[in-house]
Amino acid sequence: MTYRVCFVCTGNICRSPMAESVFRARLAEAGLDDRVDADSAGTGGWHEGDGADPRTVRVLREHGYDSDHIARQFQASWFARLDLVIALDSGHLKALRRLAPTEEDARKVRLLRSYDPAAGDDVDVPDPYYGALDGFEECLEMVEAASEGLLAAVRDEVEGTAA
C-alpha cells in the first residue's frame, strides 16, 4: 500500500512545489519512492493550472531538483486518500484543519518545520512570492532542513505498516 503525503501552501506555485520536489528526491535517495507518493496543492485556486513560479523553478534546478509542476487547489475530499498533509505555515495549518472532515483527518495535518529540530519556535516557511530570489533560496534551505526529519518519520510509518 502506498503512503501518501501532500504539501500545501497558499497558491501552490512557490513553497509547496519546492517541498514536493525536495521530498521526492529524498524518497528516491532512500529507496522509498516506490512506497511513498508526494504531491502538493494550495489552499486557494488562484494559480490552478499554472506551472511553478519561475523563481522556484530556477532555484530548484540550480540545486539539482526536478521542477515539473502544475498548480491545483487542495480539496477536503483528498483527506480520505492521504496519510499526511504538510502545511508550510501556521495559517495553512489552521485552514487545513478547519477543512478536515473529521478529527482523525485534522490530525493528519502537520507543519513542515516541526520536523526540523533546529527550527525551534520558528515554524513557518515564509512566503517568498513578493520578494527577491534570495527569499526562494532561504525557503529551499528551510525545506531541505525539515525534509530529513520528515523522511525519518515517514520511513518509520512505512516500515511500521509493512511489518
Catalytic residues, which ones?
A: 9, 15, 127
What is d(CA 145, CA 67) in angstroms, rounded to the nearest whole number? 19
How buried is 139 (Cβ within 10 angstroms: 0-12 exposed, 13-18 middle, 19+ buried)? buried
- Cβ-contact 139, 126 below 8 angstroms: yes
What is d(CA 133, CA 121) in angstroms, rounded to the nearest whole number? 25
Residue type, 83: D
Nearest to 137 by CA among 40, 18, 23, 38: 18
- Sheet harboring 84-87: ordered strands across? 36-42, 3-9, 84-87, 109-111
Give the relative orientation of helices 54-62 and 15-30 as an angle to the nearest 10 degrees. Answer: 30
